[in-house]
Chains A and B, each alone.
Chain A
Amino acid sequence: MLRLEKILTLCFVLMSILSFSQTCNLTLFGSVTDEHNNEPLPFAFIVIEGINKATTSDSLGNYQIDGICPGKVIIHCDHMGCERIIDTLYLNESSKHNFHPEHHVNELGHLEIHIETKTTETKQEKSLGQTTIDQTQTQQLGEALSNIQGVQNQSSGTNVSKPSIHGMHSNRVLILNNEIRQEGQQWGTDHGIELDFTNSKNVQVITGANSIAYGSDAIGGVIILNPSPLRKKHGIEGSINVGGESNGKKGVTSAEVNGNFKAIPELSYRFQGSLKKGGNVNSPNYYIDNTGIEEKNYAWAVGYQANNYGLQVDYSDYNAEFGVFSGAHIGNLTDLLNAFNADKPNTPDQFSYKLQRPYQSVSHETVKVKSFFYFNDSSKLELIYGRQFNQRSEFDTHSLDDNEPDFNFNLTSHTADLKYVFKGKWNHQYGVQGLYQTNTWNGRFFIPNFEKYGIGGYLIEEYKKGKNLIDFGLRYDFNHLAVYYFENDVLLNPHHNFQNINGNVGYSYLLSDSLTFRTNIGSAWRPPSVNELYSNGLHHGSASLEYGDNQLDIEQVFNWNASLDKQIKKLDLSTQIYVNYFQNYIYLAPTGETQLTIRGAFPVYEFKQIEASIVGWDFNGAYKINSQFDFDFGTSILRGNDLSNNKFLWGMPSDEFNTALIYQPKFKRLLNNTTLEVNYSYVNSQFRFNSEDDFVDPPVGYSLLNFKAYTKLNFKTPLTLYCNVNNVLNTSYRNYLNRFRYFTDEMGRNVVFGLKYNFEINEQHHHHK
């Protein structure tokens, strides 16, 4: 019995207690070890068919299942990245039975590209490993995800950062936070992503057109963030994280508690919260004024789960206030060019935690209600309702009333998702998704009030035969947009209808753990966003006049991608190529004209549609030098073209090259799980640009050296410590994908450190206290 308690349950376990007329008290036990190297495999999921008894193997690979009836027993063993093993046994006494799964997960060394909980078989999917998530809790999502080859950090300073997948971001990347589409003012390049990702247990990036299962905006890809599943075992577990950054003197703390009641095993709960505070960051030569940040977030969840149905409610509240670098909020073109030509910004060079104008204040509240039903072993119905309220207030440089924002947006979004999955010879997934959204504003006008309805229906079919897997999907979407605004005191109410059909075909071929080939061809879409349709005038702080076009059509992309993961002895390789062809790619085009205003002449931009293409190649490799040293390397290359005008596409990431040397010293005992890493990256200058498309030319290329140290101390409850130094050489550089490159250098050296303490309290142990 003691052994059973020691087994940690990772996967979702359906416990069904059936009583039989015969005495069922046989035990089946054994170990799960890798076929190739005999290494024990923890967290293998072992289940006995029919009686639904299940367990997972412990850290030594051992498992045990009790209460089995004599006779025929069909037992499954699943381990991520392995082929499932199904054995048929005839038991008349307790016995030992070992499993030797063939491990073919693609573990690419320490760039942490483990394929953990896979969402898709045919698309290229990468995830942030737990150690990476632990070390990025002080960062924003875009920064953290830029660890993945092919994903860059699209930013406006350190406080506003979002991920750009293959040169696509904002409205071209869908973020699914806890199964709810993140709906905020993401169309703005100077708007961040309003979520606390310390609440996420895993973060996955699926690249390529993904509209079938997810709907509009999944053009470059989808980012899936999931909190930990609710605890099934009675007792409490949790973690406390404390971290900091030297640059900006930032502190972050978060805590999470997951519990389950012994008295009501079906009921589980979670509480989570985090706090963040930082001051002005600095480049190697000066402080970047007014770049402080403050965040207060919390979340809770309650779930009830019986044998074949369940209900869960999740709530999260994100609140952030952060400064906008005062030298970036420019009055006019003269200011911009003065800023660009200055050696250092004309702003105070000092550290402070104080937030002054200009600053942004954002809050995002999400309520999610999910219910699910399992009809039998192979079919399931899920219904997810979400309500999000996103409030964004922007406080400009100076105003009569210091406490009032210059403008504020309120975006309320309701989403409903119905999904039916059933597995058979073919695996089927059918779904219907709905969206209702309203937006209102106060203060200075930038985008109008609107009301949006959307409905979509899809099907996905998957067929597996041997080592081949093929899937295809089809989806229809309809969106209706109603806009309300005044023009010369008359209330106008234009309506727009957008509809689209999208399809996708994917294929994967799995040849043991040495070769996986995947390819997909499909389409994705997005409707034009309200700012692309209705912008009308000065974009404050960016020295430009922007005009929308209310005749814009939907943007549609056709995407083909292929990836290959291959292991050759000590070398692990992963490569992906992709081709995107856009019809009606919407972008903000400089017209070449200027318009005179009281602040001088401003360049005029208009939203236009063109034919465009984005093609590229991502590559990762890991070489195991010996038992202590690994060498990782990778590159990403992208080419974006405006096919209508035969020009380069603006704002595309430049080529980059990354390498890392990882050392795992064979320390004894406490420090035996230690990793040290030195990594070097080179980001080339973006040579593919048209001078007339930008105020200034892209910055020069740069190299960065980083250092990481990570250890998991082997106490009774593990304690994780890390200390990383980013930009060790304190290099001065500017990043083309950072809007602030006109005004300041990027951050200088930064020491990022922290600890994570995990704890678990099993209710039974209370007696021993």
Chain B
Amino acid sequence: MIKKTLLVSGFLAMIFACEKDDNKVDTPTDEHEEELITSVDVEVQHVGSETTNTYSFKDLDGPGGNEPTQLDTIYLIENSRHDVSLSFLNESENPAENITAEISEEADEHIICFESSNGDVIVNRSDSDGTYEIGLESTWTSSNAGSVSSMTITLKHQGTDKDGTCTPGETDVEVVFPVKILGL
């Protein structure tokens, strides 16, 4: 009697220990990556001009795997101001996911930093989250033509640590765009 009770309780233990895996091993789920950014678009409009040029970085399958497929050179006109607008997209999905909208929504947790390799381009952010700047919109002022330099655009997720500087937080995007300043 005792033996039977124990045998039964042994099996019950295994059954009611009902932590189970709902997935099937031979049918893997689709990968779903949160907030994957594959592309950065830099829209540049020379102040006074009608045209907007877009320069992009694209790594469509995300980090690893294939190499990035596109890294454009940004062309600026010498000694003038340019209005610059940044977009971040996840183009591994179809239709592409607009990450820029999410960054705007969480503007108080993000900042975009700009660093010119030789100081030939000065960047001033023109948007704000209410307290600090964001960087999705900015004005770039160029100096003389002829030099070859680069602009490092960094998107940092800073959570509650945002303090207006580029120090805190984790880097989500860091792209080094070659920059060429053209003469008129």
The 8 A CB mask of B53-95 against A (1 = contact, 0 = none) is 0000101001111011000000000000000000000000000
Which chain B residues lie closer than 8 Å to A536 at the CB level? 64-65
Q: Which residue on chain A has the smallest CB distance to residue B28?
A: A449
Q: Which of the 9-residue segments B9-17, B43-51, B119-127, B130-138 touches chain A?
A: B9-17
Q: Is the CB of B25 within 8 A of A439?
A: yes
Could you list 13 further interchain pairs (A-B, Cβ under 8 angstroms) beyond the known A440-B28, A493-B26, A599-B171? A330-B171, A331-B174, A367-B13, A389-B19, A401-B34, A406-B34, A484-B26, A491-B27, A536-B64, A536-B65, A597-B64, A597-B68, A600-B171
Binds B, one of A271-279, A373-381, A390-398, A629-637: A390-398
Chain A: which residue is nearest B71 at the CB level?
A596
Could you say which residues of chain A place their CB within 8 Å of the CB of B21? 389, 410, 412, 438, 440
Q: Are A334 and B6 in contact (CB under 8 A)?
A: no
Q: What are the residues of chain A within 8 A of B63 when measuring CB–CB?
A: 537-538, 545, 595, 597-599, 602
Known contacts A442-B23, A485-B28, A598-B173; is A367 also within 8 Å of B6 by CB?
no
Complex CA distance for A443 and B23, rounded to whole angstroms: 12
Task: Determine the chain A residues whose CB is within 8 A of the CB of B38 once the complex forms.
Answer: 598
B14 touches A387 (CB 8 A): yes
**B85 CB, min distance to chain A CBs, angstroms:** 18
User: Does A264 have its Cβ within 8 Å of any Cβ on chain B?
Assistant: yes
- The answer to the question of B167 belonging to the interface, with a C-beta cut-off of 8 Å to chain A, is yes
Complex-state Cα separation, A412 to B156, whole angstroms: 38
- A176 contacts the other chain (CB 8 A): no
Nearest CB in chain B: distance from A662 CB, A: 45
A351: min CB distance to chain B, Å: 16
Q: Say yes or no: A332 contacts B168, CB within 8 Å.
A: no
User: Is A450 in contact with B25, judged by CB distance below 8 angstroms?
Assistant: yes
Given A313-B13, A598-B38, A304–B6 Cβ distance below 8 Å? yes
Task: For the complex, give the distance between the alpha carbons of A176 and B154 in Å.
Answer: 47
Asked if A647 is at the interface (CB within 8 A of a chain B CB), the reply is no
Q: Is the CB of B174 within 8 A of A410?
A: no
B180 contacts the other chain (Cβ, under 8 Å)? no
Contact B6 A397 (CB under 8 A): no
Docked CA distance A401–B29 (Å): 19
CB atoms of A313 and B6 under 8 A apart:
yes
Q: List 5 A-B contacts (CB under 8 A).
A: A313-B13, A369-B10, A398-B35, A491-B27, A600-B174
In the assembled complex, the Cα of A341 lies from the Cα of B90 at a distance in Å of 33
Contact of A448 with B by CB under 8 A: yes
- Output the least CB separation between A302 and chain B (Å): 7
Q: If A332-B171, A440-B25 touch, does A304 touch B3 (CB 8 Å cutoff)?
A: yes
Q: When A369-B14, A387-B17, A597-B64 are in contact, do A444 and B31 touch as well, CB less than 8 Å?
A: yes
Give the residue of B14, B35, B160, B173 whose beta carbon is less than 8 angstroms from that of A599. Answer: B173
Q: Are A400 and B68 in contact (CB under 8 A)?
A: no
Q: Give the one of B27, B31, B65 with max A CB within 10 A.
A: B31
Q: Output the least CB separation between A305 and chain B (Å).
A: 10
**Is A463 an interface position by the 8 A CB rule?**
no
For B65, what are the chain A residues with a Cβ–Cβ distance below 8 Å?
A: 536-537
For residues 402 through 447 of chain A, which have their beta carbon under 8 Å from a beta carbon of chain B?
A: 404, 406, 410, 412, 438-445
Residue positions of A touching B, CB distance < 8 A: 264, 266-267, 302, 304, 311, 313, 315, 326, 329-332, 334-335, 338, 346-348, 363, 365, 367, 369, 387, 389, 391, 396-401, 404, 406, 410, 412, 438-445, 448-451, 484-486, 491, 493, 536-538, 545, 547, 595-600, 602
Contact B19 A363 (CB under 8 A): yes
Tally chain B residues at the interface, Cβ within 8 Å.
55
How distant is the Cα of A302 from the Cα of B7 in the complex, in angstroms?
Answer: 11
Closest to B5 in A: A304
Report whether B161 and A347 are in contact in the complex, using a CB–CB cutoff of 8 Å.
yes
CA A227 to CA B32, docked complex, whole Å:
41
User: Quick one: which of A313, A338, A599 has the most chain B CB within 10 A?
Assistant: A599
CA distance A451 to B17 in the complex (A): 21
A538 to B38, CA, bound (A): 14
Q: Which residues of B contact A389 (CB under 8 A)?
A: 17, 19-21
Could you say which residues of chain A place their CB within 8 Å of the CB of B159? 326, 397-398
Other-chain contact of A329, B59, B156, B160, B170 (Cβ < 8 Å): B170
A365 to B38, CA, bound (A): 39
* A267-B2, A400-B34 as given contacts; A346 in contact with B28, CB under 8 Å: no
On whether the beta carbons of B67 and A331 are closer than 8 Å, the reply is: no
Q: Which residues of B contact A596 (CB under 8 A)?
A: 59, 67-68
Q: In the bound complex, how far is the Cα of B37 from the Cα of A391, in angstroms?
A: 28
A599 near B24 with CB under 8 A, answer no
Would A346 and B35 be within 8 Å (CB), given that A313-B13, A387-B17, A538-B63 are in contact?
no
B14 lies within 8 A of A598 (CB): no
Q: Are A597 and B59 in contact (CB under 8 A)?
A: yes
In the complex, which of the residues B67, B68, B170, B176 has the most CB atoms of chain A within 10 Å of its own CB atom? B170
- Give B102's nearest chain A residue, CB to CB: A400
Q: A315-B13, A315-B17, A438-B25 are in contact. Are A443 and B171 (CB under 8 A)?
A: no
In whole Å, how far is B15's beta carbon from the nearest beta carbon of chain A? 10
Cβ of A518 to closest chain B Cβ, rounded Å: 39
In contact, A302 and B28 (Cβ under 8 angstroms): no
Q: Mark B158-182, 1 if CB is under 8 A from A, else 0.
A: 0111000001111111111000000
Evaluate contact between B9 and A398: CB separation under 8 angstroms: no
Rounded to whole Å, the gap between the CB of B179 and the closest CB of chain A is 17
Complex Cα–Cα for A254 and B25 (A): 37
Q: What residue of chain A has the Cβ atom nearest to residue B157's Cβ?
A: A398
CB closest chain-A residue, reference B59: A598
Name B171's contact: one of A335, A367, A545 (CB within 8 Å). Answer: A335
The answer to whether B108 has its CB under 8 Å from any CB of chain A is no
Q: What chain A residues lie within 8 Å of B20 (beta carbons)? A: 389, 412
B111 within 8 A of A: no
Query: How far apart sit A660 and B169, CA to CA, in the bound complex (Å)?
Result: 43
Contact of B161 among A313, A348, A404, A597 (CB under 8 A): A348
Kindly state the separation between the CA atoms of A304 and B22 in the bound complex, as whole angstroms: 34
Instruction: Give A389 to B57 CA distance when docked, in angstroms.
Output: 43
B2, B25, B175: the one within 8 Å of A598 (CB)? B175
Per CB-CB distance, the 5 closest pairs between chain A and chain B, nearest first, are A537-B64, A331-B171, A597-B63, A440-B23, A600-B174
- Given A440-B28, A537-B63, A538-B64, A599:B10 Cβ within 8 A: no
The verdict on B40 contacting chain A, using a C-beta distance below 8 Å, is yes
Cross-chain contact B40 with A313 (CB below 8 angstroms): no
